[in-house]
Structure 1
Amino acid sequence: MTAPEAGIALCRLLAFASAMILFGSSLFTRFLAAGPLGDFIGQRLRSLILLAAALALVAVVAMVPIAVIRMAGSWHQAMRPGIATTILRETISGRMLIIRFSLAVLLMGSCLMSPRLGLRTVAAAGLLLVSFAFSGHAVADDGARGLVHRGNDIVHLIAAAAWLGSLVPLLPCLAALRRPELRAESYAALRNFSFAGHGAVALVLVTGVVNALLIIGPPMNWLTPSLYHILLLAKIALVACMVGLALVNRYVWVPRMKSDMAVAARAITHRTVAELLLGLGVLALVALFGQLDPG
């Protein structure tokens, strides 16, 4: 992997992680934790939200010169008069860089304007994530197959953000169980999250399988000894661990909250943190996938 490719992978990782945190946190506080609980979660996450928005903007801005150098072939070529402008204006990848920059600025402004996350942040973060479906392996397909591939990528990214991003506000929601005035709302939010989470996880798994089939073909091809396939298997293993932790939380520890809330909440918190760390590993692998030849 070349230096520009490594730089783009790092920028994609930061942009993915930041946008997913903002998307999932906004969904959670807007639809699952209304009222005082939403305010409590928003206050707890305020610094993290601003940091995520700033990181998304920095990552998208840094991606512009790195991508231009990669497409130009070298930084010497990229510095020639008119080369960068031509790349940004005349290529699909260049125009997507401009669109991402605009969305990252909009996202930063949305987070600064209001201390409470809302639909504007959901829309800006979601569109920023969707923009990545128009780069990488999805754009290699034309016609109907290309439309299916990009559409599948969009659903995959949004579902993954809804799942992984919502784990962040889940942590202060669990902490709110210790407050008598927020306990009922927290229980309700946890039940709603459990119901919605099943749908998000199912979409991630189905669209992930479809994506792998579109890129490298039937499952027997997945065992080919190449770096791409090894990373794909590593991603599958990490996602399987995440699903396992989510199932243990839902069907082992959530029912125990009625008998021992403190122990159950602590166990769910620990496994949620583990899910987030595994999810970060998955995002790192996804950021690398876009720079590798699946062949």
Structure 2
Amino acid sequence: MPIELTVVGLRWLQFAAAVLALGLPLFQAFGLNEPGPQSARRAVIIAGVVLSVSAMGGLLAQTAMMAGGWVEGLDPAALSYVIQSTSLGMAHVVRAGLPLLGVAALVLARGRRAGGWVTILAFAGAFASFAWSGHGAASEGSLGQLHLAADIAHALAAAVWLGALAGFCLLLLRPATRGTAGTARSLAGFASIGTVAVAVLVMTGLINAAFLIGAEGFGRVPRSAWGLLLIAKLVLFAVMVGLAAHNRFTLTPALSRAVEAQTDTDRVVRRLRISIGLEMLAGIALLGLVAAMGVQMPPASI
């Protein structure tokens, strides 16, 4: 497999694992009904381990791409240089280490709130490292700090949204919770949080676009690989927003009415599962596009 495709695949895997590892604990910390404590806990532990292992693999692949081949990239001297002399290398080390701390805190805490917050902070730091090693870290000066902060906020908002989708999938798949009043309250309660997450994604996305496209780069967007990936990303984002609006304004009220009237909820739960499942799939595909964008030159750099 070409090195660049390996880098993209490992970045995609890291994004997906980080979303689960951070998003599910955040979902539970927001005071929503827990999506099956044991299933969520196992998912977070597995995602944390996958994130750590894929980050180490990503470091090897990135070094190989920079060195021009797998043999050269696996040279200890080359790896040492990348780790010690580049922000990309250090970001991968942080991304490999912090998830293990998060997993350890989750395992040892045994449900205690303090351990849960250590887990969240560890995974949040790992998630923020994506910005540290991406285009957001390329800008310099005070404006560069704004770009980096916007990139970090963008990533964290994505974790909140996609992590909640994963949590709702667990809720709706469990027979004991999928048609209950608690599930209906959780869906309704996430509406304001989801709106804030989308607003942050839009605002920080515009800031990132201003840096990565530039005043003179709009004409190059449809003519560059990065630009075409951005267009596809925006299409998927619009699909997700449309599905989220349908869930919030149509399906969630329908579930609440069915629960209050004590009528059958199977039909509306089935529709919610399909809608949220499609939204989650669109989000996973979007993460793949973001992973591919990370190895392409944005218009402002061409």
- Scaled by the length of structure 1, the TM-score of the pair is 0.88
Unmatched tracts of structure 2, length 5 or more: 259-264
81 and 101 in structure 1: CA distance in 2 versus 1, 3 angstrom threshold: closer
The whole-number CA distance in structure 2 between the counterparts of 1:82 and 1:110 is 33
Work out the CA distance in 1 between the residues paired with 2:163 and 2:143: 29
Count of aligned residue pairs for this structure pair: 289
Separation of aligned partners in 2, 1:140 and 1:46: 36
C-alpha displacement of 1:101: 1.8
Contact 1:69 1:75 in 2 (8 A): yes
1:50 matches 2:45: yes
Aligned to 1:286: 290
Please report how far the alpha carbon of residue 55 of structure 1 lies from its aligned counterpart in structure 2 after TM superposition. Answer: 1.4
In the TM superposition, 1:1-295 aligns within 5 A as 3-33=2-32, 37-38=33-34, 41-78=36-73, 82-114=77-109, 116=111, 118-175=116-173, 179=177, 183-217=180-214, 220-221=218-219, 223-260=221-258, 261-295=265-299
RMSD: 2.5
Find the aligned partners of 1:4 and 1:47 in 2 and give their Cα distance. 32
CA contact (8 A) 2:53 2:96 kept: no
Relative to structure 1, is the Cα distance of residues 79 and 19 closer, same or farther in structure 2, using a 3 angstrom cutoff? closer
Distance verdict in 2 for CA 1:264–1:128, change over 3 Å: same
Q: Would you say the 8 A contact 2:21–2:44 is kept in 1?
A: yes
Q: Which moved more, 1:283-292 or 1:14-23?
A: 14-23
CA deviations on 1:163-188 (whole Å, 9 max, x unpaired) are: 011111112333568559x9343333
Q: Is residue 61–residue 73 contact of structure 2 (8 Å, CA) maintained in 1? A: no
Look up the equivalent residue of 2:182 and give its one-letter code: E
Superimposed CA distance per residue, residues 65-98 of structure 1 (whole angstroms, 9 cap, x where no aligned partner): 2222223333444455633222211222222222
Q: Distance in 2 between matches of 1:179 and 1:210?
A: 40
Cα separation, 1, equivalents of 2:75 and 2:253: 64
Q: Cα gap change, 1:176/1:223 in structure 2, threshold over 3 Å: closer, same or farther? A: same
Give the secondary-structure state (helix, strand or coil) at the position aligned to 1:292: coil
Q: What 5-or-longer segments of structure 1 have no aligned partner? A: none
Does the CA-based 8 Å contact 1:176-1:183 persist in structure 2?
Answer: no
Structure 1 residue aligned with 2:262:
none
CA distance in 2, matches of 1:255, 1:194: 11
